[in-house]
Amino acid sequence: WDFLPEKTRSIHVDIRYALWVMEQLGGAGHLLEEMGIEAAPEYPIASAGGR
């Protein structure tokens, strides 16, 4: 094992964003279906005061 910092990069992304990009922008909804990934349920957005 050898670590070469000049050749190493990390990309961090929220998986929810990656799935959204695949479906909405990449036209890869069929791949999500094939993997068995379903849409997340819709939840109402809470107000800032929690009321």
Is residue 46 left, alpha or beta, with left meaning phi > 0 and alpha meaning psi from -120 to 50?
A: beta
* Per-residue confidence (pLDDT) for residue 50, from 0 to 100: 56
Name the residue ranges covered by the structural domains of the chain. Answer: 5-35
Token pair listed for 37: 């990934």
Q: Convert the pLDDT of each residue in 1-51 to its tens digit.
A: 676 778 777 778 888 888 888 888 888 878 888 889 877 677 776 666 655
* Per-residue confidence (pLDDT) for residue 28, from 0 to 100: 82
SS (H, E, C) the chain: CCCCHHHCCCCCCCHHHHHHHHHHHCCCHHHHHHHCCCCCCCCCCCCCCCC
Residue bearing tokens 């036209």: 27
